[in-house]
Amino acid sequence: MSLRDVRKVYRVGNEKVVALDTIDLDIEKGEICCILGTSGSGKSTLLNLMAGLERPTRGDIKIKGKPIEKMSENALAKFRRKNIGFVFQSYNLIPTLTALENVSLPLIFMEIDKKIRNERAKKLLIQVGLDKHLKHKPSQMSGGQQQRVGIARAFVGKPDVIFADELTGNLDSKTSTDIMKLITNITKENNQTLVIVTHDINIAKYADRIVYIKDGSIEKTEKAISV
């Protein structure tokens, strides 16, 4: 993944608010990269741009050599479906579906046979330690268990890149540690790229590299000290 001269400006009334200014960043295949910054630093905007959820005001963003900022909405949706997975702070599970159904859902849009969908979803749920919760709905699970479902859902389509936005923000410290070990281990096993956005330096330590962002600009980058 590469970003060159990326700038994002929002209009608020008659004013222009610069959310990101002149971002240059490269993330290698298989790397675990953490975007670290306080609230309002621009880190979530940066994630949204990298994931193709928003378009930059200026600049180039490439994933696997493909310029995503130039893609049509349909082409971008197809690209995300095939290459990108998401893990959210608020889990974003569908409350009426079981864990198995939530995890297998992305595979429906990839037109994968139901039997294969369920087998793949079940395998991942077992991998994240939820073999006894396959038929449970989100309301029947703890926050940590729901986040494990979210992680399984992100990985089920075998994407090259996973984006995780404050994925432990609603969890206690022990559960956060378990979740971080889980997601980084799966990422490394599959040689996938993981981009974590957080304000927590303890979470950042699970990355290979930390990118510090402040006031919409990259302040510095450094190799993480492993936990």
> Chain-centre distance of CA 208, in angstroms?
16
* DSSP codes joined into one string, 100-140: HHHHHHHHHHTT--HHHHHHHHHHHHHHTT-TT-TT--GGG
In a domain, 64, yes or no: no
In a domain, 148, yes or no: yes
In a domain, 174, yes or no: yes
In tens, the pLDDT along 50-62 reads 999 999 999 999 9
CATH number of the domain that 35 lies in?
A: 3.40.50.300
| pLDDT value for 227 | 56
In a domain, 4, yes or no: no
* 32 close to 207: Cβ distance less than 8 angstroms: yes
* 115 close to 101: Cβ distance less than 8 angstroms: no
The domain total for the chain is 1
In tens, the pLDDT along 154-163 reads 999 999 999 9
| pLDDT value for 100 | 97
Domain interval for residue 132: 28-58+72-223
Residues of the chain with pLDDT under 50: none
The token duo for 104 is 């297998």
